[in-house]
C-alpha cells in the first residue's frame, strides 16, 4: 500500500493550496481517509476525515471554514483544499487511511500513511 502526498510549497498568507494524496495497492474506496499536520517543533495535529462516501467528519476547529477534505474514488485520491492560509498553517501535511471505522473515527489511528508534504506560509 502506498500513499503519495503532493502539492505542498511556499505560499503567501491569504493564499490557497490543494494537497493531493494518491493511493495505490489497496481498494481506495474501502479506506477512510484523513489528513494531519505537524508544525515545526510541535506535535502532530489531526485535521479531519473524509469517509467512504465523501462525507467530512471531525474537521478541526483550527481549520474549519478554511480547509475542506474530499476524495475521488475513481482516481484513488484524497484532497485537502486549504484557503485563507496563515503562517500558523506552516507544517508538514500527512495523509492517512484505514479501512477500520473504529480505528479511524474513534481512535484516530490509521494504518497507512503518506510521506508528508511541506507547506510554508509566508507573512
**pLDDT tens-digit profile, the chain (123 residues):** 999 999 999 999 999 999 999 999 999 999 999 999 999 999 999 999 999 999 999 999 999 999 999 999 999 999 999 999 999 999 999 999 999 999 999 999 999 999 999 999 999
Partners of residue 17 on adjacent β-strands: 82
Classify burial at 71, counting beta carbons within 10 Å of its beta carbon; exposed 0-12, middle 13-18, buried 19 or more: buried
Q: Where are the beta strands (DSSP E) in the chain?
A: 2-6, 9-12, 17-24, 32-38, 45-50, 56-57, 67-72, 77-82, 91-98, 112-113, 117-122
Number of H helices, E strands in the chain: 1, 11
pLDDT of residue 101: 94
C-alpha cell at 91: 507544517
Amino acid at each position: 500500500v502506498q500513499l503519495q502526498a503532493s502539492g505542498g510549497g511556499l505560499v503567501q498568507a491569504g493564499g490557497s493550496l490543494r494537497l493531493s494524496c494518491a493511493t495505490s495497492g489497496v481498494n481506495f474506496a474501502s479506506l477512510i481517509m484523513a489528513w494531519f499536520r505537524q508544525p515545526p517543533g510541535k506535535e502532530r495535529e489531526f485535521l479531519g476525515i473524509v469517509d467512504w462516501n465523501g462525507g467530512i467528519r471531525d474537521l478541526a476547529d483550527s481549520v474549519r471554514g478554511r480547509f475542506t477534505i474530499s476524495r475521488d474514488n475513481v482516481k484513488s485520491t484524497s484532497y485537502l483544499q486549504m484557503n485563507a492560509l496563515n503562517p500558523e498553517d506552516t507544517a508538514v501535511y500527512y495523509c492517512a487511511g484505514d479501512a477500520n471505522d473504529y480505528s479511524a473515527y474513534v481512535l484516530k489511528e490509521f494504518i497507512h500513511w503518506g510521506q508528508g508534504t511541506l507547506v510554508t506560509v509566508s507573512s
